[in-house]
Amino acid sequence: MGLDVQALVKRYSDTVVVGPVSFAAAEGEFLSLLGPSGCGKTTTLRCIAGFETATGGDVLIDGRSILGLPPNRRDVGLVFQSYALFPHLTVFENVAFGLRLRQRPAPEIARRVADALRLVDLAGLEGRHPSQLSGGQQQRVALARCLALEPRLLLLDEPLSNLDLKLRIQMRSEIRKLQRRLGKTAIYVTHDQGEALALSDRIVVMSAGRIEQIGTPREVYETPRTRFVADFIGASNLLAGVVEPSGTTIRVGDARLTSSDASVPGPVTVLIRPERIRVVAPDTAPASGNLLSARVAEVVYLGEDLQLTLEVDGGISLAVSLKATVAEKELTPGTAVGAWIAREDVRVLPSPEARGA
């Protein structure tokens, strides 16, 4: 059953901060709430945890509403961005905190704390205080403190954002492994699209208190439904275009593109991912797809990747990302090239004007 959020609304006096938003997470699913700061993702999480009172809608766990319960009776584990460890307690006592409140017998507490600390690879640090731990270790204690109680639901509020990049990537795969192994439903709030893509079974993309799209990482990346999703997740070329009356070609500047997306005539936004553009010889005659003649305007060498800016005839510029190989050495500013884009890599999204209307 998992978690079911139904038309949740959070309003402060007259400002709607969230909603209405509806989404569901199946048992054992890893669901991310992704969006820029202020999009309402954390508020949504806090409504589930009980630290914000929902103005409207409902939150169900295993089919039962939890909105009437105080935070201490919701049985959802929350991992805070700041870890929020108890500074006056040792690692052992931090993890034992919830078990002591539930008045479990001492041997059981000892066993469950040890299990939780072993899960997060912290066995042996029981006697330390939080101030004696590194950021990564504190993060693990926070996680263990939640897991020791075996909550019905695991809520994670940007848990990795205070760690440095390497540790972040290591911790995120550990979190994912743990969540899989324990089969816990997890709701993960982040503004980091990379984290959301790497961790999630499904992603809820939020903006300005609303849900823009819900889908698997592949879906939200490959077939974003709105310009916002396309822009927020991954790098993108977003071009204003017009679908011609025939419905088969899209005019972008002076260029014409064909797309496999069905579309009705009118203004649209065209999305082309930088890594889907192939740089070919200018005189290539492809059998299918779109070939635009262009000139290299800028080359940025990033080690693994090469980032190009192409000026396409007709006044559009395209960002292109290539794997940096020896063959691309001759790509220097001014070189005339062809930019080849497959029909299915030209994505048609509603234009921002159409959305507002």
Residues that bind other proteins (CB under 8 A): 49-51, 70-74, 76-78, 80-82, 84-89, 93, 97-98, 100-102, 142, 145-146, 149
Minimum CB–partner distance for residue 74 and other proteins (Å): 8
Q: Which residue type is seen at 284?
A: T
Please tell me the number of Cα atoms within 13 Å of 30 on its side-chain side: 21
> Would you state the structure tokens that stand for residue 108, as one six-digit string?
């059981």
Minimum CB–partner distance for residue 318 and other proteins (Å): 44
Minimum CB–partner distance for residue 171 and other proteins (Å): 19
DSSP bridge pairs for 190: 34
Using the minimum distance from each CB to other proteins, give the nearer residue, 50 or 224: 50
Minimum CB–partner distance for residue 1 and other proteins (Å): 21
Using the minimum distance from each CB to other proteins, give the nearer residue, 82 or 134: 82
Among 182, 223, 181, 176, which Cα is nearest to 31's?
A: 176
List b or e across 315-330, with b for residues whose CB sees 16 or more CB atoms inside 10 angstroms: ebebbbbbebeeeeee
Using the minimum distance from each CB to other proteins, give the nearer residue, 85 or 277: 85
Using the minimum distance from each CB to other proteins, give the nearer residue, 175 or 294: 175
> Would you state the structure tokens that stand for residue 251, as one six-digit string?
């005019």
Using the minimum distance from each CB to other proteins, give the nearer residue, 159 or 338: 159
The three-state (H, E, C) secondary structure of 292-304, written as one string = EEEEEEEEEECCC
Minimum CB–partner distance for residue 201 and other proteins (Å): 24
Give the three-state DSSP class for 307.
Answer: strand
Using the minimum distance from each CB to other proteins, give the nearer residue, 186 or 220: 186
Minimum CB–partner distance for residue 188 and other proteins (Å): 16
Cα separations in angstroms, 108 against 102, 114, 149, 178: 11, 10, 12, 22
d(Cα 221, Cα 326) in Å, to the nearest integer?
Answer: 29
Using the minimum distance from each CB to other proteins, give the nearer residue, 93 or 244: 93
Q: Read off φ and ψ for residue 148, nearest 5 degrees.
A: -60, -25
| Residue pointed to by tokens 């060498």 | 301
Could you tell me which residues come within 8 angstroms of residue 326 by beta carbon, excluding any fewer than 6 positions away? none
Specify burial of residue 179 (Cβ count, 10 A radius: 0-12, 13-18, 19+). buried
Minimum CB–partner distance for residue 155 and other proteins (Å): 8
